[in-house]
Amino acid sequence: MPVTTYNDAVVIPHPPDWRQPVEWSRSWDTRIESAVTGSEARVGLRLKPREKLRFRLVPLNLAERLVMVARLKAAAKLGLAVVPHWGRGSTLTAEASGSSLVVAADNFKAQSEDVVFVHSGDIEVSDEFDLAVVAVHRNQTLSLVGPLSRTYPAGARVFPTIAGRITVGELEALDDWRQAVTLEVQQLRTVPDNDAALFDFYYWFRGAPLPRMYAGEDFDHWLQAVPLVSP
């Protein structure tokens, strides 16, 4: 059975059962630090929270069921999966076959090095997809690091993706051959929008301890250890 992996995570391209809502949540990691004033404060360890998607899969037919089960078994074994961010997608406004995509939504969320999921739009064909890395996102055009593997018509779907730990629920029997299953994917890694250095400054600004200044140390040397905001 075809099992596609990306960075050691299994790609789950099957669309959710929209009769039940896709549940989206997010979480921050925090810890106690001594603030500049000497008091204690709870400090976030990341600027952006980790996102989690929970949704239900129901195969359309026996052929899709066999493929879906193979992918879920591989994902459960590896513990990692990549899924489209269902509900956050857009459509192509023009045919795409090279290394650029033009999306309809002007608020589509993608930045450099993000991975997007491109699908033909036919829900009965789960294997017609690409995972593409964004090089530049300007206005409604996504320039990609490499070319697409196939041609997608106008109206095809484009989604951001979430990669992380997967939890596969118990199979729920619907009839003699079809089962439903609920998935949860918890994002592993978050990156501040376009500015990783800003995280260091934000962490210090919210109360993390400043570098210690020792006797005899000059001020310029001390400044080298203080987080700075990128221009």
Say yes or no: 226 and 153 in one domain: no
pLDDT of residue 2: 73
pLDDT of residue 206: 47
Say yes or no: 77 and 24 in one domain: yes
Asked if residue 70 has pLDDT above 80, the reply is yes
Element (H, E) at 221: helix 219-223
The confidence band for 106, taking pLDDT boundaries of 50, 70 and 90, is confident
Lowest mean pLDDT among 12-21, 41-50, 161-170, 206-215: 206-215
Has this prediction a pTM greater than 0.85? no
CA geometry: angle 142, 148, 152, nearest 5 deg: 85
Across 40-54, average pLDDT:
75
Say yes or no: 145 and 206 in one domain: no
Across 170-187, average pLDDT:
88
Across 158-170, average pLDDT:
94
Asked if residue 214 has pLDDT above 60, the reply is no
Say yes or no: 204 and 185 in one domain: no
Lowest mean pLDDT among 2-11, 20-29, 167-176, 207-216: 207-216
Say yes or no: 119 and 175 in one domain: yes
Asked if residue 203 has pLDDT above 90, the reply is no
pLDDT of residue 104: 92
pLDDT of residue 46: 62
CA atoms within 13 A on the CB side of 129: 30
pLDDT of residue 174: 84
Determine the structural domain holding residue 215 and report its residue range: 195-231
Say yes or no: 220 and 172 in one domain: no
Portion of the chain with pLDDT greater than 70, in percent: 74
Say yes or no: 152 and 91 in one domain: yes
Burial (CB count <10 Å: 0-12, 13-18, 19+), residue 114: middle
Tokens, residue 15: 């669309």
Element (H, E) at 129: strand 129-138
Q: Which residue has the higher pLDDT, 221 or 121?
A: 121
Say yes or no: 231 and 172 in one domain: no
Say yes or no: 115 and 80 in one domain: yes
Say yes or no: 129 and 185 in one domain: yes
pLDDT of residue 115: 95
Distance CA 87, CA 101 (A): 19
pLDDT of residue 197: 45
Say yes or no: 143 and 176 in one domain: yes
Average pLDDT of every residue of the chain: 81
Total tally of structural domains belonging to the chain: 2
Across 185-191, average pLDDT:
82
Say yes or no: 38 and 128 in one domain: yes
The confidence band for 139, taking pLDDT boundaries of 50, 70 and 90, is confident
Element (H, E) at 25: strand 23-27
